[in-house]
C-alpha cells in the first residue's frame, strides 16, 4: 500500500472508527447472561435438561455474530489465510483453562468430561474430520447455526452429517476393538496428571497452558503478511502498517446486503473498539463453556447426530437397538421403555439452542439472514465454479466425513477442541492438532490459488 506514489505505507486511523452502542450492549448482555449461568453452576451441579437451551442460544448468537457459520470463513481459517477464528478459539480456550482449574482449586464441583485417549480411533477420526471440514467448511455445531442463519446448503450438511454419524453407529461393534479399545489409556487430563492430582498444582499447570493459548491472540498475526496479533490491537498498539480489514470484506458485504454497518468491523475485529467488543464476546464464550461443565456436562454438538439416527432406527426397527452396541449405550431400553435423554443429557436441547441463537442473531441483530437462497462460498466458486449441485454434493459428503470422523474420535470441534482443550484433556489436544494439520493440507491441495 502506498500513498501519493511513494512507498511509505498509508497510516490507518483505526482508533477513530466507531461501531456505535448496539454491539457494546449486545456483548455486555451476553457477558451478563454467561455470568448468571456461571453463578448458577456454583450452586447447581445437575441442572435440568431444559437449562441447556440457554448456553446453546448464547454460543449460537456469538458464533453467528462472528460469522463462523460461513463455510468460507472456516475454509480460509483452516488454510491459515485468515486466522481470526483460530485465534479467537485460542483465546476462549485459554480463559476457559484458567477458569476451570481455578474453580477446581476452590473445591467447587465440576462435571469433568475428559474423553478417553485412544490413539487409533482419535487419529483416524480426526483425519476424516479435517478432510470433511476443508471440503464442506462446516463443523457439527456450525451446521445448526447455518440452518438458523437461513443457509440453504446447511440442509445438505445436515443430511450428510446424519448419514455419517449413523454409519459409525452401525459399524462400531466390529471396529471398536481395533479403533477404540486398542491403545486406549482412558480419560487423561494433562493438568491433573502433571500435578499428580493436586488441585493447586493443577491450577498452576493450567496457568502455563492458558498463557500459551492466550499468547496465540497476541503473537499470531491474523494474516500471513502480518506482524502483530489481535491482542496488541485490543491494547491500541496496532502497527499502522498492519492490514486490519479482511481482503474479502467486499465479498462478504455483497453476500449480505442487509447486514448492519457495525457487523463487519466486529466480525473481523478490524478496529480497536471492535477488537475490545470481540474480547468481551470471547470472555462470555469462555465463561459459558465453563459454566456448562459446572451445571451438568461438557458442551458438545455431534452426539446429537448419532442420537437422531438411533431414534430413526428405533422408530422402524426397535428390536435392532440392543444388537447395536453404540446405539444400545446411547439409547438404553429399560423394561421395554426407551430412555431417550438418559445418556446424552441436554445436548439435543443445547443444539436446539444453538440453532435458535443463529436464528435470533441473523434475523434481529446482524440482519445476515439468508432466507435459504442460493449462495456459493466465494473460495469454492473461484475454484470449482457456480454449479449449485456440485457444491451441494461436496457439502453433503464433506459433512458426512466430518460427523463420521467425529463419532469415531468420540468428539468434535465442541466436545474435543473447545471443551476438551479447556479441560486440558489429552484426547482433545491430540484431536485438535490432527484436525488442523489435515484440514490445512487438504485446503491448500483442494483450492490452491483460490484461497488468495
pLDDT in tens, 325-337: 999 999 999 888 9
- What is the rounded CA–CA span in Å between residue 392 and residue 155? 9
Model confidence band, residue 420 (pLDDT cutoffs 50, 70, 90) = very high
> Does residue 314 form part of some domain?
yes
Whether 99 has a pLDDT exceeding 90, the answer reads yes
> Does residue 345 form part of some domain?
yes
Contact status, residue 245 vs residue 1, Cβ threshold 8 Å = no
> Does residue 8 form part of some domain?
no
116-118 and 337-338: which strand pairing?
A: unpaired
Which of these ranges, 89-98, 164-173, 175-184, 225-234, has the smallest mean pLDDT?
225-234
Contact status, residue 321 vs residue 331, Cβ threshold 8 Å = yes
Instruction: Give the distance from CA 217 to its chain's centroid.
Output: 17
Whether 13 has a pLDDT exceeding 80, the answer reads no
- What local confidence, expressed as pLDDT, does residue 444 receive? 97
> What are the cell numbers at 51?
437449562
Contact status, residue 82 vs residue 76, Cβ threshold 8 Å = yes
Instruction: Give the distance from CA 349 to its chain's centroid.
Output: 17
- Per-residue pLDDT, averaged over 173-193, amounts to 96
- What is the rounded CA–CA span in Å between residue 291 and residue 37? 6
> Does residue 244 form part of some domain?
yes
Expressed as residue numbers, the domain containing 66 is: 20-184+239-451
Whether 241 has a pLDDT exceeding 70, the answer reads no
- What local confidence, expressed as pLDDT, does residue 247 receive? 86
- What is the rounded CA–CA span in Å between residue 47 and residue 32? 19
Query: Which residues are 184's β-sheet partners?
Result: 118
Whether 15 has a pLDDT exceeding 60, the answer reads no
> Does residue 218 form part of some domain?
no
> Does residue 76 form part of some domain?
yes
> Does residue 196 form part of some domain?
no
Contact status, residue 382 vs residue 81, Cβ threshold 8 Å = no
In this prediction, what percent of the chain has a pLDDT beyond 70?
Answer: 95
- What local confidence, expressed as pLDDT, does residue 249 receive? 86
Whether 5 has a pLDDT exceeding 80, the answer reads no
Model confidence band, residue 14 (pLDDT cutoffs 50, 70, 90) = very low
How many structural domains comprise the chain? Answer: 1
- What local confidence, expressed as pLDDT, does residue 430 receive? 98
In the chain, % helix, strand, coil (3-state, to 5) comes to 70, 5, 30
pLDDT digits (tens, 9 = 90+) for 335-350: 889 999 989 999 999 9
Where does residue 56 rank: exposed (0-12), middle (13-18), buried (19+ CB within 10 A)?
buried
Closest CA to 76 of 378, 435, 413: 378
> Does residue 13 form part of some domain?
no
Amino acid at each position: 500500500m502506498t500513498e501519493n506514489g511513494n512507498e511509505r505505507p498509508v497510516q490507518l486511523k483505526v482508533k477513530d472508527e466507531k461501531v456505535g452502542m448496539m454491539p457494546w450492549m449486545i456483548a455486555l448482555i451476553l457477558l451478563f447472561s454467561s455470568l448468571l449461568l456461571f453463578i448458577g453452576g456454583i450452586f447447581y451441579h445437575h441442572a435440568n435438561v431444559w437449562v441447556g437451551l440457554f448456553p446453546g442460544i448464547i454460543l449460537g448468537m456469538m458464533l453467528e455474530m462472528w460469522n463462523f457459520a460461513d463455510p468460507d470463513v472456516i475454509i480460509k481459517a483452516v488454510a491459515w489465510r485468515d486466522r481470526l477464528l483460530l485465534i479467537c478459539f485460542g483465546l476462549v480456550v485459554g480463559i476457559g483453562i484458567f477458569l476451570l482449574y481455578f474453580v477446581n482449586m476452590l473445591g467447587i464441583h465440576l462435571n469433568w468430561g475428559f474423553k478417553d485417549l485412544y490413539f487409533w480411533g482419535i487419529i483416524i477420526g480426526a483425519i476424516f474430520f479435517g478432510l470433511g471440514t476443508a471440503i464442506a467448511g462446516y463443523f457439527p455445531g456450525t451446521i445448526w447455526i447455518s440452518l438458523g442463519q437461513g443457509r440453504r446448503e446447511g440442509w445438505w450438511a445436515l443430511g450428510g452429517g446424519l448419514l455419517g454419524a449413523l454409519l459409525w453407529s452401525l459399524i462400531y461393534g466390529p471396529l471398536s476393538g481395533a479403533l477404540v479399545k486398542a491403545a486406549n489409556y482412558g480419560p487423561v487430563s494433562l493438568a491433573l496428571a502433571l500435578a499428580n492430582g493436586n488441585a493447586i498444582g493443577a491450577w498452576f499447570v493450567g496457568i502455563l497452558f492458558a498463557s500459551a493459548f492466550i499468547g496465540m491472540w497476541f503473537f499470531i498475526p491474523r494474516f500471513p503478511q502480518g506482524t502483530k496479533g489481535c491482542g496488541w490491537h485490543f491494547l491500541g498498539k496496532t502497527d499502522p502498517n498492519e492490514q486490519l480489514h479482511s481482503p474479502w470484506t467486499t465479498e462478504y458485504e455483497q453476500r449480505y446486503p442487509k447486514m448492519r454497518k457495525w457487523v463487519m468491523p466486529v466480525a473481523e475485529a478490524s478496529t480497536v473498539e471492535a477488537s475490545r467488543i470481540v474480547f468481551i464476546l470471547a470472555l462470555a464464550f469462555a465463561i459459558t463453556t465453563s459454566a456448562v461443565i459446572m451445571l451438568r456436562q461438557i458442551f458438545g454438538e455431534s452426539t446429537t447426530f448419532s442420537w437422531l439416527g438411533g431414534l430413526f432406527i428405533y422408530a422402524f426397527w426397535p428390536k435392532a437397538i440392543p444388537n447395536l452396541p453404540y446405539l444400545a449405550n446411547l439409547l438404553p431400553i429399560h423394561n421395554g421403555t426407551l430412555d431417550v435423554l438418559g445418556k446424552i443429557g441436554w445436548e439435543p436441547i443445547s443444539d436446539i439452542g444453538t440453532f435458535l441463537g443463529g436464528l435470533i442473531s441473523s434475523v434481529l441483530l446482524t440482519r445476515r439472514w439468508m432466507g435459504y437462497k442460493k449462495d456459493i462460498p466465494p473460495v469454492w466458486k473461484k475454484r470449482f465454479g457456480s454449479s449449485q449441485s456440485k457444491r451441494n454434493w461436496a457439502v453433503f459428503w464433506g459433512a458426512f466425513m466430518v460427523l463420521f470422523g467425529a463419532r469415531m474420535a468420540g468428539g468434535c470441534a465442541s466436545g474435543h477442541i473447545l471443551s476438551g482443550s479447556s479441560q486440558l484433556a489429552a484426547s482433545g489436544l491430540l484431536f485438535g492438532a490432527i484436525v488442523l494439520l489435515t484440514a490445512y493440507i487438504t485446503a491448500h491441495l483442494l483450492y490452491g490459488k483460490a484461497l488468495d
